[in-house]
A = this chain, B = another copy of it.
Amino acid sequence: MQHTEQHLKSSDFITDMVIGMSDGLTVPFALAAGLSSAVSSNNIIITAGIAEIVAGCIAMGLGGFLAGRTELEHYQSELKREYDEVEKVPAKEMEEVKEVFAEYGLSTEAQDLIANELAKDKTKWVNFMMKFELGLEPPNPNRAVQSALTIGASYFVGGLLPLSGYIFTSTPLQGLAVSAILTIICLFVFGFFKSKVTGQPPIQGALKVTMIGLLAAGAAFGIAKVVA
């Protein structure tokens, strides 16, 4: 089954890495590009870049942590509610099972049979309601911590790359040139693998990701020049 495999491949880890790295490669690069048009010292750009990377890394990492925790808490509170409902109002829950299948044109006979059979095992019944009525999958309990670390580290690595251009050059415009070349290569490679993993056409995906980075940097460059 090709589509099941695709589902397995785009795992939580890869999703988190993509989230962290696409922002990490884009925003610090664009910020540095913007400052290159406005200030005359590489030091200020490096300081601002590092401040942004640290800020983004923590904000996105902790954001990922909270999202993971919220998902887990939400699942557990819905699970508890479904257990309560199956216990207290089983007839109503059986009606809900039937409604799910009525929507797909199944006969009342089939609906009754499914509802009656499911009602025999409360755990399976509740799991069924969680997935098919509410569309919730059991989350991985370690997801929050893993998410935070993966997103944070990817943002950090992604952000340091464009900044390195300013460390080995002496003027902001030289730094921008090196940074742009490095970042375009990285965005393209990153976009290529991201698209492969998510099952999109890789070259097209790579070009899209690269365009976003360049647009963001171009706009930041232009606007910072006007403001400064």
Q: How near does chain B come to A172, taking the closest CB pair, in angstroms?
A: 12
Q: How near does chain B come to A137, taking the closest CB pair, in angstroms?
A: 7
Asked if A8 CB lies within 8 Å of chain B CBs, one says no
How many subunits of this chain does the assembly comprise? 2
Chain B residues with CB under 8 A of A2? 81
Query: Which secondary structure characterizes the binding site on chain A?
Result: helix
User: Given A200-B70, A212-B66, are A35 and B47 neighbors across the interface (CB < 8 Å)?
Assistant: yes
* B55, A219: Cβ atoms closer than 8 Å: yes
* A227, B128: Cβ atoms closer than 8 Å: no
> In the complex, A223 Cα to B189 Cα: how many Å?
30
Q: How near does chain B come to A41, taking the closest CB pair, in angstroms?
A: 10
User: Given A23-B59, A23-B63, A106-B117, are A44 and B51 neighbors across the interface (CB < 8 Å)?
Assistant: no
Chain B residues with CB under 8 A of A170? none
Q: How near does chain B come to A43, taking the closest CB pair, in angstroms?
A: 7
* A110, B106: Cβ atoms closer than 8 Å: no
> In the complex, A199 Cα to B136 Cα: how many Å?
15
Chain B residues with CB under 8 A of A77? 199
* Interface 1/0 per residue, A109-143 and B, CB below 8 Å: 11001100110110011011000101101000000
Chain A interface size, as a band, is 35 or more
* B135, A137: Cβ atoms closer than 8 Å: yes
Chain B residues with CB under 8 A of A118? 104-106
Residues on A facing B (Cβ under 8 Å): 2-3, 7, 22-23, 26-27, 29-31, 33-35, 38-39, 43-44, 46-48, 50-52, 54-56, 58-60, 62-63, 66, 70, 73-74, 77-78, 81, 101, 104-107, 109-110, 113-114, 117-118, 120-121, 124-125, 127-128, 132, 134-135, 137, 198-200, 208-209, 212-213, 215-217, 219-221, 223-224, 227-228
Sample of 15 further A-B pairs with CB below 8 A, known A31-B52, A39-B47, A101-B114:
A2-B81, A3-B78, A27-B52, A30-B52, A30-B56, A30-B59, A50-B223, A50-B227, A51-B220, A58-B220, A66-B209, A105-B117, A105-B124, A106-B117, A110-B113
